C-alpha cells in the first residue's frame, strides 16, 4: 500500500514553537491531521520522516510530493486509527470556576454571569455573603458550598454558634451515639472556624456532641472516640474539639481532626483543671458535602496510652545533608492530639518517629518551610512522660538553605533507638522534615582534628586535617606525611584528588596527579586548559605555576613574564632555567615565541630562518596552485547560491511593500475571466479549516497562478492590508509569468498579533497583461510606495503614457477563511475607552473602558521623556509581567483580562471597580455621608494581607503597596471580598541614564517605602513595611508624614528609625503590636503575610462578634449612585 502526502498548507516549519519537538507533533494536511506521539516508536519514526521531508521542501522552495512505502498492514491500520481520532478533536475553550453559568465564560477565570447563589464578582468562586450582624432568615439567607454549588440553607436549620446541653448530644463510655446526616441536619460552625476564609465557609452541616468528666479519674489522661460508618455511602468527617474558657465563657479551639474510614481519635483530658469540678469537652462533627449517611460513635477512657510510631528511620536509610530525603507528615490527618512532654502547657498535633543508629554520628533534623511554629522533642523510649530534649525553631540570617526550623541532636555510639515527636500549633499543617547524617565520625573531634558546624552542615577541620571527617592529610604544605608510601597516591588538594589522596571516579593517576578522561584524550577546553605535556603543561592539562608558567591561549601555556616587553630569564622553584624566545617584538606571538619561519636572536628579536627558505618556495608554489582551484570552486558555489537566493528568500527577510491599488478601468474577476488566468485557491484557511489560529503562530498557504494567454506576459500585484494587528506576507508580492512559463506557485504567510476579527478579510490583487514585460515592470515601479493620497497628477500622466502598452487589466481578491483564537492579546478596536482619567500614577494613567459588554479598567503606560533603550527594556518587562498575571487568579487580586501589545504603547486591561480605590474613603477632603467603621477597615486590611500572601507565595513583589492600589469591591464587612490588589508587578525601577542631579524615577511611593528600599534593596519584607504604613493610614485617616515638608526629610526620618505615632484610641492593642512589628527597621524582624492574615482574621472575628446592627442606608445609597453613574457612562461609550 502507498500513502501519498501533499504538503500544501499549515504551520510554517521554520518558526520555532514550543510544540516543535514536544510530546505531540502535528503534521498538517488539507483533509486530515495526524497526531504522532513519542510513546509509540513507529509513530515517532514516521513523524520524523514527515518533518525531514518538510524541511527539505522549504529549503528547495519547490512543491514536494513524496511517497512512503509501507509493507505491514498493521502500521497502516494504526495510522488510519489516529486519523479518525484527529478528526473529532475539539478546540479547547476558556476555563472558569464551576460557579459560572454556561456560555458566560469570556476569559480564563472571568465570568459574565455566575450561577444562582454565587457572589456576582466575575470569579464565581464564593457563595453570596450575608449580613453577619443580623440573624439568618429568608431576607438574610445563608448560602453554603455543597457538591460544587452554592445551596440556600433553610433558616430553621441554622443554629448560632452555641455549645450547650440543649443542642449537644451527650456521649458516655456506656452508650453508643448514632449521628445521622441528612436533609434535616443543622448548620453551625465549630470552635476552630477561624481557619476558614470567609463567613459562608465556616457554616457546616453537623452535630454537637459533648463528653463530661470529673477530676476524680486517677491515672486516666486520654479519652478515645471510635467512629464506625453504618452505611455504604460515607463522607469525610471533620471534628472540632473545644473547651469553655471560664474567664470569657467562650468556646476555644483545642484540636481539629478528620477521618474518612472507621477510625479512633484520641484527646488528652484538659490540664490544670480544678479538683472536684465537673468538666465538659464539646465536639462539633461536620461534613463538607451533601452526602447522607449514618455513623456510630463510642467513647472510652485509656490508661497509659502511647501513640503509634508513624515512621522508622534506620542507619541504612540516612544520607548526608546534600542528599537527604524529605519526610512529609500530614499533621491534620495522621497527627495525635497531645500535651507534648517537653512543652506541656499547649495542646498540639504531633507525629512520632524513631531513629535507629549503629555508629557514632551527628544527625540533623530540619525543616526549611517558613511560617508557623514547629518544635521537635525527644522523649525516653521507655517512658513517654520523660523529656530528653526540646528544640525550638532556629533562624539563620545568612543561610538560605536552612532559614527556618533547623533542629539537631547528637547520637552516641552503639545500637541506639531514639524517639522523637514533631509537633505544631497549626492543626492543618503539612510538616516537611529532612533527617540526614552530618559530620562523619564526629569530625574526629575527640582527637582535636576538627569540630562539627551546624551552620555549614559539615566538618570544620584544623590545620593539617581534611576530608569529610577531618582525618590527617596525606599531603600538606607541599609535603608528604612521614611514613607514607606515596607512589600510588595523588596530591591532596589537586583536581580530582580526594581526602584519602586517591583519584575520584573518572580520573586516572599519573605521576601523583589525577588526569581526567578528556585530558587524556586531548578533548580539552582550550580557553582554560592546556594540551597535556606541552611546554609548561602538566600531565593533568594544567599550566604548572610552580615552574613559572601561566595559561596563554588556544590550549598552550606561556612564561609568567611574557608580555612585559622584556626578554627575561629566571630560575623556577625546581631549579630549572626558564627563558623567553622573544617578547612584544615583530613576528613574536602572544606566547613569546617567534612565528613560523623566524628564529630568536641574541637581542630577543625574531629574524628569518633561512634554513627553511627552500621549503618555503616549494610550499608557496603548491599553495598558489591550490588557491587557484579553491577560487574556481568558490565562484561556482557563489553562482549556485545566488541562483537559489533569487528563487526564494527566507521568511524572516520578506517584507511587504505598499502598491497603489489602481483599479480604474479594470475588470472584476469572474468565472468567465478564469479562462484567461486563475489564482487558486482564492479562499485561504492556512491549514486551519476547522480550528482557530493561534496568536504569534506563523502559518502559510500555497497559491498557484496560471497564465492561459499564449503570447502575453502577465503581472499580478497583491495589495496587502497594512495593519499592526496581523502580518500578511508573500514570498513574491509581485509575480511575473511569461507566456512560455504558464504557471508558478507562491506562498502567503499569516501571523496574528492579537485576537482580532480576521475571518472574511480581503487581500486585493490586480492582474495586468501586456506583450511587453518592460511595460509591466514600469507599471510596478510607478505604483510602488504609492497610495491614494500620494498619487499625483504627474504619476497619472506617466501611467496614461504606459497604459497604451497594457492589453487588459483585472482586479479581484483573496479571502481569509480562518479565525483568531480567543486569547489575552486583545484588539484595541474592541475596547471602547473614555478620554477621562480615573486614576494616575508614576507608571501611567487609567481610563474607564468597555470590553465585550463589561466595564474594564484600561491602563496606558507613560514613558515619555525616557531614552529609547530604557523604553524597550520596560516594554519587555511589562510583557513578561503580563504573562505572569495571566496565570494568577485569586479572589483578592484584580483579574487580568488582557493586554494590547502590538501598538507603540502597551495597554493593560483589567477588572473595573465602581467604588474606586481605598484612598478615596480615608481622605478627609472627600466629603460623603458616611465613614468606614472599624470592622470594615479591619476586613479590608485582612483581604489585603490575603492577596499579598498569594502574591508572595508566587514569588511576586508588589513594590508599590498603598491605598491607591487597593480597589474596593464592597463596603460591607460581611462580604466575601472587600478589597482587591492592583498594579502589582508593573512597577519597576526606571533609572534615567540621562538625568541630572542623580535623579531617579519609579519603584514605589516614598511615603510607603521601607528603609532598605531607599537604598535599592527590595524583598517581601519591603511590602510588609508598606502594608504597615497603609494600615496606619487606614485607621488614622491621615496622610503619612504630613508635618514633613520634603521627601528628603521623610527618607532621613525613616532610615534613622523614625516611625509614625500610633493613636491607641483608634487602633486596637493587637493591631498596634502588629503594625509595630511590620515596620521594624530590620527586614528579618518583620512577619510574613501568612502570620499577618492570621492575626487580622482573629481581630476581624472579635470585631464581628461585637458588631451591632448598623444602618447601612447611606452606604447603599452611595453604591446605588455609583452604579447609576457607571451605567450612564457605559451608555455614552456604547454610542
Q: What is the pLDDT of residue 1068?
A: 92
User: How far, in Å, CA of 185 to CA of 352, rounded?
Assistant: 37
Neighbour count for residue 985 (Cβ, 10 Å): 20
Question: What would the pLDDT profile of 1012-1037 be if each residue is shown by its tens digit?
Answer: 999 888 899 999 999 999 999 999 99
Whether 437 has a pLDDT exceeding 70, the answer reads yes
Whether 221 has a pLDDT exceeding 80, the answer reads no
The percent of residues in the chain predicted with pLDDT above 90, rounded, is 27
Q: Structure pTM?
A: 0.49
**Confidence class of residue 1059 from pLDDT cuts 50, 70 and 90?**
very high
Whether 409 has a pLDDT exceeding 50, the answer reads no
Yes or no: say if 797 and 711 are a contact pair by the CB < 8 Å rule.
Answer: no
Residues 103-133: b if buried by 16+ CB within 10 A, e if exposed: eebbbbbbbbebbebbbebbbbbbbbbbbbb
**Confidence class of residue 24 from pLDDT cuts 50, 70 and 90?**
very low
Q: What is the pLDDT of residue 962?
A: 94
Whether 36 has a pLDDT exceeding 90, the answer reads no
Q: What phi and psi, each to the nearest 5 degrees, are found at residue 1097? A: -65, -40
Whether 989 has a pLDDT exceeding 60, the answer reads no
Question: What would the pLDDT profile of 65-82 be if each residue is shown by its tens digit?
Answer: 333 333 334 444 444 444
Whether 1054 has a pLDDT exceeding 90, the answer reads yes
**Confidence class of residue 181 from pLDDT cuts 50, 70 and 90?**
very high
Q: Which of 205, 282, 126, 279 is nearest to 943 (CA)?
A: 126
Kindly give the pairing relationship between strand 142-146 and strand 149-153.
Answer: antiparallel
Whether 647 has a pLDDT exceeding 50, the answer reads no
When the candidates are 2.60.40, 3.90.550, 3.40.50, 2.60.120, the CATH number that belongs to 311-442 is 2.60.120
Q: What is the pLDDT of residue 870?
A: 86
For residue 182, how far is the Cα from the chain centroid? Answer: 43
- Cell numbers representing residue 54 in the block: 518538510
159-302, CATH topology level:
Jelly Rolls (2.60.120)
Q: What is the pLDDT of residue 393?
A: 58
Q: Which of 454, 324, 455 is nearest to 397 (CA)?
A: 455
Yes or no: say if 559 and 567 are a contact pair by the CB < 8 Å rule.
Answer: no
**Confidence class of residue 1011 from pLDDT cuts 50, 70 and 90?**
very high
Cβ-proximal residues to 1122 (8 Å cutoff; 6+ apart), any chain:
914, 915
Domains in the chain: boundaries: 159-302, 311-442, 475-521, 526-558, 561-606, 651-816, 915-993+1002-1134
- Cell numbers representing residue 746 in the block: 507562491
Q: What is the pLDDT of residue 935?
A: 92
Q: What is the pLDDT of residue 348?
A: 85
Mean pLDDT of the chain: 79
The mean pLDDT value for 585-595 works out to 89
SS3 call for 1072:
helix
**Confidence class of residue 28 from pLDDT cuts 50, 70 and 90?**
very low
When the candidates are 1.10.510.10, 1.20.120.530, 1.10.10.60, 1.10.1060.10, the CATH number that belongs to 915-993+1002-1134 is 1.10.510.10
User: How far, in Å, CA of 528 to CA of 1049, rounded?
Assistant: 53
Domains 159-302 and 311-442 share a fold: yes
Q: At what angle do helices 1020-1036 and 1069-1078 cross, to 10 degrees?
A: 140
Q: What phi and psi, each to the nearest 5 degrees, are found at residue 697? A: -100, 120
The mean pLDDT value for 421-428 works out to 75
Question: What would the pLDDT profile of 455-498 be if each residue is shown by its tens digit?
Answer: 677 788 888 888 888 888 888 777 787 777 888 888 887 788 88
| Radius of gyration for the chain, computed over Cα atoms and rounded to the nearest angstrom | 40
Yes or no: say if 352 and 374 are a contact pair by the CB < 8 Å rule.
Answer: no
Would you name the residues annotated as active-site residues? 960
Q: What is the pLDDT of residue 1083?
A: 92
Question: What would the pLDDT profile of 494-522 be if each residue is shown by its tens digit?
Answer: 788 887 888 888 888 888 888 888 888 87
The DSSP annotation for 464-529 comes to TEETTTTEEPSEETTEEPTT---TT---TTSTTB-TTS-BPTTEEEETTEEEEHHHHTT---TTT-
Higher model confidence: residue 998 or residue 324? 324
User: How far, in Å, CA of 166 to CA of 159, rounded?
Assistant: 12
Q: What angle do CA 42, 48, 49 make, to 5 degrees?
A: 95
Q: What is the pLDDT of residue 56?
A: 55
Q: What phi and psi, each to the nearest 5 degrees, are found at residue 618? A: -60, -40
Whether 657 has a pLDDT exceeding 60, the answer reads yes
**Confidence class of residue 719 from pLDDT cuts 50, 70 and 90?**
very high
Least confident window among 91-100, 658-667, 743-752: 91-100
SS3 call for 537:
strand
Longest dimension (CA), the chain: 122
651-816, CATH topology level:
Immunoglobulin-like (2.60.40)
Q: What is the pLDDT of residue 379?
A: 86
Question: What would the pLDDT profile of 110-153 be if each residue is shown by its tens digit?
Answer: 888 899 888 888 888 888 888 777 788 888 889 998 878 899 99
Higher model confidence: residue 38 or residue 600? 600
Least confident window among 410-424, 677-691, 844-858: 410-424
Q: Which of 538, 540, 534 is nearest to 593 (CA)?
A: 534
The mean pLDDT value for 184-205 works out to 77
**Confidence class of residue 321 from pLDDT cuts 50, 70 and 90?**
low
- Cell numbers representing residue 511 in the block: 605521576
Amino acid at each position: 500500500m502507498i500513502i501519498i502526502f501533499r504538503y500544501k498548507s499549515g504551520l510554517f516549519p521554520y518558526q520555532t514553537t514550543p510544540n516543535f519537538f514536544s510530546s505531540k507533533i502535528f503534521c498538517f494536511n488539507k483533509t486530515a491531521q495526524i497526531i504522532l506521539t513519542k510513546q509509540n516508536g513507529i509513530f515517532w519514526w514516521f513523524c520524523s520522516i514527515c518533518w525531514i521531508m518538510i524541511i527539505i521542501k522549504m529549503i528547495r522552495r519547490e512543491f514536494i510530493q513524496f511517497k512512503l512505502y509501507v509493507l505491514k498492514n498493521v502500521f497502516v491500520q494504526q495510522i488510519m486509527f489516529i486519523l479518525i481520532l484527529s478528526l473529532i478533536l475539539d478546540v479547547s475553550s476558556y476555563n472558569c470556576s464551576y460557579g459560572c453559568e454556561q456560555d458566560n465564560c469570556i476569559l480564563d477565570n472571568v465570568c459574565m454571569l455566575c450561577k444562582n447563589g454565587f457572589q456576582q464578582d466575575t470569579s464565581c468562586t464564593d457563595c453570596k455573603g450575608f449580613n453577619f450582624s443580623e440573624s439568618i432568615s429568608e431576607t438574610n439567607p445563608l448560602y453554603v458550598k455543597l457538591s460544587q454549588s452554592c445551596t440556600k440553607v433553610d433558616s430553621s436549620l441554622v443554629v448560632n454558634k452555641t455549645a450547650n446541653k440543649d443542642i449537644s448530644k451527650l456521649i458516655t463510655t456506656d452508650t453508643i451515639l448514632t449521628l445521622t446526616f441528612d436533609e434535616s441536619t443543622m448548620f453551625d460552625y465549630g470552635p476552630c472556624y477561624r481557619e476558614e476564609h470567609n463567613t459562608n465557609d465556616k457554616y457546616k452541616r453537623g452535630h454537637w456532641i459533648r463528653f463530661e468528666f470529673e477530676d476524680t479519674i486517677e491515672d486516666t489522661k486520654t479519652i478515645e472516640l471510635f467512629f464506625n460508618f453504618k452505611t455504604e455511602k460515607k463522607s469525610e468527617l471533620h471534628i472540632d474539639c473545644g473547651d469553655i474558657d471560664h474567664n470569657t465563657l467562650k468556646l476555644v479551639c483545642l484540636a481539629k481532626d478528620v477521618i474518612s474510614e472507621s477510625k479512633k481519635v484520641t484527646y488528652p483530658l484538659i490540664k490544670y483543671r480544678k479538683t472536684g469540678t465537673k468538666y465538659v469537652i464539646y465536639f462539633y462533627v461536620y461534613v463538607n458535602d451533601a452526602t447522607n449517611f449514618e455513623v456510630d460513635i463510642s467513647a472510652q477512657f485509656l490508661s497509659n496510652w502511647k501513640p503509634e510510631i508513624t515512621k522508622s528511620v534506620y542507619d541504612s536509610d540516612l544520607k548526608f545533608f546534600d542528599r537527604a530525603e524529605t519526610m512529609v507528615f500530614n499533621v491534620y490527618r495522621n497527627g495525635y492530639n497531645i500535651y507534648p512532654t517537653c512543652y506541656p502547657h499547649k495542646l498540639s498535633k504531633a507525629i512520632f518517629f524513631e531513629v535507629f543508629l549503629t555508629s557514632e554520628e551527628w544527625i540533623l533534623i530540619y525543616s526549611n518551610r517558613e511560617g508557623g511554629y514547629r518544635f521537635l522533642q525527644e522523649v525516653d523510649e521507655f517512658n513517654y512522660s520523660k523529656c530528653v530534649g526540646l528544640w525550638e525553631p532556629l533562624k539563620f540570617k545568612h543561610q538560605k538553605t536552612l532559614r527556618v526550623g533547623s533542629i539537631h541532636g547528637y547520637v552516641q555510639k552503639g545500637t541506639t533507638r531514639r524517639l522523637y515527636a514533631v509537633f505544631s500549633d497549626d492543626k492543618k499543617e503539612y510538616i516537611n522534615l529532612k533527617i540526614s547524617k552530618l559530620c562523619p565520625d564526629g569530625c574526629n573531634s575527640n582527637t582535636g582534628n576538627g569540630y562539627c558546624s551546624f551552620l555549614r552542615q559539615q566538618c570544620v577541620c584544623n590545620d593539617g586535617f581534611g576530608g569529610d571527617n577531618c582525618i590527617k592529610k596525606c599531603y600538606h604544605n607541599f609535603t608528604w606525611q612521614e611514613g607514607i608510601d606515596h607512589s600510588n597516591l595523588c596530591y591532596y588538594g589537586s583536581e580530582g584528588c580526594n581526602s584519602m589522596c586517591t583519584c575520584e571516579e573518572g580520573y586516572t593517576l599519573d605521576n601523583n596527579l589525577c588526569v581526567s578522561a578528556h585530558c587524556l584524550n586531548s578533548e580539552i577546553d582550550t580557553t582554560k586548559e592546556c594540551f597535556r605535556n606541552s611546554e609548561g603543561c602538566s600531565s593533568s592539562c594544567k599550566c604548572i605555576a610552580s615552574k613559572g608558567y601561566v595559561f596563554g591561549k588556544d590550549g598552550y601555556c606561556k612564561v609568567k613574564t611574557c608580555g612585559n616587553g622584556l626578554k627575561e630569564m629566571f630560575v623556577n622553584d625546581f631549579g630549572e632555567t626558564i627563558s623567553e624566545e622573544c617578547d612584544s617584538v615583530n613576528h613574536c606571538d602572544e606566547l613569546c615565541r617567534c612565528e613560523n619561519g623566524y628564529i630568536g636572536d641574541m637581542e630577543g628579536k625574531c629574524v628569518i630562518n633561512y634554513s627553511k627558505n627552500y621549503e618555503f618556495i616549494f610550499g608557496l608554489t603548491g599553495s598558489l596552485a591550490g588557491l587557484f582551484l579553491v577560487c574556481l570552486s568558490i565562484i561556482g558555489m557563489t553562482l549556485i547560491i545566488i541562483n537559489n537566493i533569487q528563487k526564494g528568500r527566507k521568511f524572516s527577510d520578506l517584507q511587504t511593500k505598499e502598491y497603489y491599488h489602481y483599479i480604474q478601468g479594470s475588470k472584476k474577476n469572474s468565472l468567465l475571466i478564469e479562462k484567461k488566468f486563475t489564482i487558486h485557491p482564492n479562499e485561504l484557511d492556512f491549514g486551519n479549516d476547522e480550528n482557530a489560529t493561534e496568536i504569534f503562530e506563523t502559518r502559510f498557504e500555497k497559491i498557484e497562478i496560471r497564465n492561459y494567454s499564449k503570447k502575453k506576459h502577465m503581472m499580478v500585484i497583491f495589495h496587502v492590508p497594512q495593519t499592526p494587528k496581523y502580518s500578511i506576507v508573500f514570498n513574491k508580492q509581485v509575480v511575473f509569468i511569461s507566456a512560455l512559463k504558464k504557471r508558478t506557485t507562491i506562498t502567503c504567510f499569516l501571523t496574528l498579533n492579537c485576537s482580532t476579527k480576521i475571518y472574511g478579510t480581503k487581500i486585493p490583487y490586480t492582474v495586468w497583461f501586456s506583450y511587453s514585460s518592460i511595460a509591466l515592470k514600469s507599471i510596478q515601479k510607478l505604483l510602488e510606495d504609492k497610495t491614494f493620497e500620494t498619487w499625483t497628477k504627474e504619476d497619472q500622466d506617466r501611467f496614461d503614457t504606459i497604459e497604451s502598452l497594457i492589453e487588459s487589466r483585472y482586479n479581484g481578491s483573496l479571502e481569509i477563511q480562518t479565525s483568531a483564537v480567543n486569547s489575552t492579546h486583545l484588539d484595541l478596536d474592541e475596547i471602547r475607552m473614555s478620554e477621562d482619567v480615573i486614576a494616575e500614577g508614576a507608571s501611567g494613567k487609567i481610563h474607564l473602558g468597555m470590553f465585550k459588554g463589561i466595564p474594564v479598567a484600561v491602563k496606558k503606560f507613560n514613558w515619555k521623556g525616557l531614552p529609547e533603550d530604557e523604553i524597550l527594556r520596560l516594554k519587555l518587562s511589562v510583557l513578561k509581567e503580563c504573562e505572569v498575571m495571566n496565570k494568577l487568579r485569586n479572589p483578592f487580586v484584580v483579574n487580568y483580562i488582557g493586554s494590547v501589545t502590538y501598538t507603540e504603547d502597551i495597554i493593560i486591561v483589567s477588572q473595573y471597580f465602581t467604588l474606586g480605590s481605598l484612598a478615596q474613603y480615608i481622605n478627609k477632603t472627600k466629603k460623603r455621608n458616611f465613614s468606614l467603621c472599624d470592622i470594615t477597615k479591619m476586613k479590608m486590611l485582612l483581604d489585603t494581607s490575603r492577596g499579598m500572601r498569594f502574591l508572595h507565595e508566587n514569588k511576586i513583589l508588589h513594590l508599590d503597596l498603598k491605598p491607591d492600589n487597593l480597589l474596593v469591591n464592597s463596603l460591607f464587612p460581611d462580604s466575601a471580598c472587600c478589597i482587591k490588589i492592583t498594579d502589582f508587578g508593573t512597577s519597576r525601577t526606571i533609572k534615567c541614564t540621562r538625568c541630572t542631579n542623580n535623579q531617579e524615577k519609579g519603584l514605589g511611593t516614598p511615603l510607603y517605602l521601607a528603609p532598605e528600599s531607599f537604598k535599592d534593596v527590595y524583598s517581601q519584607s519591603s511590602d510588609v513595611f508598606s502594608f504597615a504604613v497603609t494600615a496606619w493610614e487606614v485607621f488614622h485617616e491621615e496622610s503619612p508624614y504630613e508635618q514633613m515638608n520634603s521627601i528628603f526629610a521623610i527618607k532621613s526620618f525613616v532610615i534613622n528609625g523614625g516611625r509614625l505615632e500610633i493613636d491607641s484610641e483608634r487602633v486596637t492593642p493587637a493591631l498596634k503590636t502588629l503594625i509595630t512589628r511590620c515596620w521594624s527597621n530590620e527586614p528579618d524582624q518583620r512577619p510574613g503575610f501568612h502570620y499577618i492574615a492570621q492575626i487580622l482574621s482573629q481581630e476581624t472575628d472579635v470585631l464581628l462578634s461585637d458588631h451591632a446592627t448598623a444602618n447601612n442606608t447611606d452606604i447603599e445609597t452611595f453604591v446605588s449612585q455609583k452604579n447609576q453613574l457607571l451605567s450612564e457612562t457605559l451608555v455614552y461609550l456604547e454610542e
